Amino acid sequence: MKRYFILLVIALAAGQTSKAQSGCSTYYPLVDGANFQYTNYDKKGREDGQINYAVTNVESSGDNVSATMMMEMVDKKGNTYTSDYNIACEGNVVKIDFKSLMNEQMLSQMGDVEMDISGTDVELPNNLSVGQELPDANMQLKMKMGGAINMNTNVETINRKVEKQESVTTPAGTFDCYVVYSETKTKMMMANQTFPSRIWLAEGVGMVKQESYNKNGKLLGSMVLTQYSK
């Protein structure tokens, strides 16, 4: 579960922080009761687990919106991890409270581990256009496991740009999307790696599809929206 949690945090930092609805955005609706199911696939197209989200406790005050994202992550072996985190839209910017991921429920499922997460949010403008360049972002994850092992991970999201518009069909339906390219640089222990990726974003839905690649551009894995309701 530690590996899946790290992948989750990287995914949030690299692609899914955005702006919200209700005066904040046309993307990522913060609507009480909204549900989203994503299925992960490996490089050969084999199912590799699922992540389910549910939006709860939505509160609005003018252009500001806050909500709780309830999350259930299931790996390919059927192991389940559940938690929730806080998300807030203030004016035109959404902020994910990464520290809220480190609640007692999450820590109890991961064993003897202490974590500290900091960094800058990934921003996504309301009005996207082909060729548009987007701001970089970064995140630092510090983990102390078993009281002795320390592991620091630094994640940078760079070279973000809107490549094109494209229609995408998934089990959840057909969506008109903007395709956003970025590169995620990770530094963990003595290893440094860069992973190009693309996300497909649809208005009122958010992320419909995500693909990650190796340095040579070969597909490493993907995440696809398979069900949603709001």
pLDDT in tens, 187-200: 877 778 888 999 99
- Proportion of the chain above pLDDT 70, given as a percent: 74
Give the residue from 158, 161, 120 showing the smallest Cα distance to 136.
158
**Looking at residue 4, what DSSP letter applies?**
H
Q: Rounded to two decimals, what is the model's pTM?
A: 0.79
- Give strand pairing partners of 140: 118, 154
Cite the beta strand spans of 62-147 per DSSP E.
64-74, 80-90, 93-97, 113-119, 133-134, 137-145
**Looking at residue 29, what DSSP letter applies?**
-
- Please check the confidence at residue 23 and state whether its pLDDT lies above 80: no
- Please check the confidence at residue 1 and state whether its pLDDT lies above 60: no
Quote the tokens at residue 36. Answer: 């989203």
* Cα–Cα distance measured from residue 179 to residue 177, given in angstroms and rounded to the nearest whole number: 6
Q: How far is CA 47 from CA 15, 71, 201, in A?
A: 21, 19, 22
Least confident window among 73-87, 114-128, 158-172: 114-128
Give the residue from 10, 24, 9 showing the smallest Cα distance to 206.
24
pLDDT of residue 24: 59
- Report phi then psi at 219, rounded to 5: -65, 130
- Please check the confidence at residue 98 and state whether its pLDDT lies above 70: no
Residue type (1 letter), 97: D
- Please check the confidence at residue 103 and state whether its pLDDT lies above 60: no
pLDDT in tens, 50-97: 989 898 888 888 777 888 888 888 888 888 888 787 877 776 666 666
Least confident window among 44-48, 98-102, 223-227: 98-102
User: What is 2-229's CATH number, 1.10.20.10, 1.10.10.60, 2.40.360.20, 2.130.10.10?
Assistant: 2.40.360.20
User: What are the extents of the domains in the chain?
Assistant: 2-229
Categorize the per-residue pLDDT at 178 as very low, low, confident or very high, splitting at 50, 70 and 90: very high
Least confident window among 24-33, 86-95, 99-108, 189-198: 99-108
pLDDT of residue 38: 93
Q: Which residue has the tokens 């996207």?
A: 128
- Please check the confidence at residue 18 and state whether its pLDDT lies above 50: no
Quote the tokens at residue 134. Answer: 């987007």
